[in-house]
Amino acid sequence: MDILAHALWAGAGTAYAARRMTISRPVAVATVTLAVLPDIVQMLPLIPWAVAGGGTLAELHAFALAVPGQEPALPPLVALFSHHLHCIMHSAVVAAVVTLLLWLPRRRFWIPLAGWWSHIVIDVFTHSADYYAVPVLYPFSERGFDGLAWNTPWFLALNYAALAVTILWLALTRGRSKRLP
């Protein structure tokens, strides 16, 4: 799914959860940040290349909006780093290990991880075999589920319509169910 929709769904989910449990502002911000980070970290290796290497900002922009087969040519090392960062951040295996490592000392789920998990779960079903299928089992496999590509026009429209309805509902019911017992 696109970055904006990831942020909006995570924001809506956090706002709803805040009606049922105490969620501080920093935790809410961290949750939304982790929901968008998986699509941003893969761009990091391109920045030194675009700023000081042979790349251009136009190529960085082209990479961000690329469709399969039309990505700009990257230096092999940049492409390799970017690919594996994308895999790591979209892997349920990696997320499970991190979740466990953060859970162990406090025996409590670290709420911002819900943002990361939301990204992975949404992406698994909103990417298809020919549109960057998500390597959810990385590093064991880079194969992904053949879902429905999020850029399919009717799905894109439906997704934003659903977001608009959800955000409107949250706004209209604001303050109605503050902290259930």
Rule CB under 5 A: which residues touch Zn ion?
38-39, 123
Q: Would you say 4 or 165 has its CB closer to Zn ion?
A: 4
- Taking the CA atoms of the chain, what radius of gyration do you get in angstroms? 18
Structure tokens at 149: 């590509």
Q: Cβ distance 83 to 96 under 8 Å?
A: no
**Between 19 and 151, whose beta carbon lies closer to Zn ion?**
151
Q: How far is the CB of 56 from Zn ion (least distance, A)?
A: 24
- Minimal distance, residue 3 CB to Zn ion, in Å: 8
Residue 90 beta carbon to Zn ion: minimum distance, rounded to whole angstroms: 6
SS3 8: helix
Q: Minimum Å distance from CB 134 to Zn ion? A: 7
Least distance CB 124 / Zn ion (angstroms): 10
- Residue among 39 and 59 whose Cβ is closer to Zn ion: 39
Cα 20 to chain center, whole Å?
A: 24
Q: Name the residue nearer to Zn ion (CB basis): 81 or 170.
A: 81
Residue 61 or 174 having the CB closest to Zn ion: 61
Cα–Cα distance, 139 to 86 (Å, whole number): 12
Residues pairing with 131 in the sheet: 128
DSSP bridge partners of 128? 131
Q: Which of 56, 89, 103 is nearest to 75 (CA)?
A: 56
Q: Cα separation of 122 and 133, whole Å?
A: 12
**Can you tell me the distance from the alpha carbon of 165 to that of 155, in angstroms, rounded to the nearest whole number?**
15
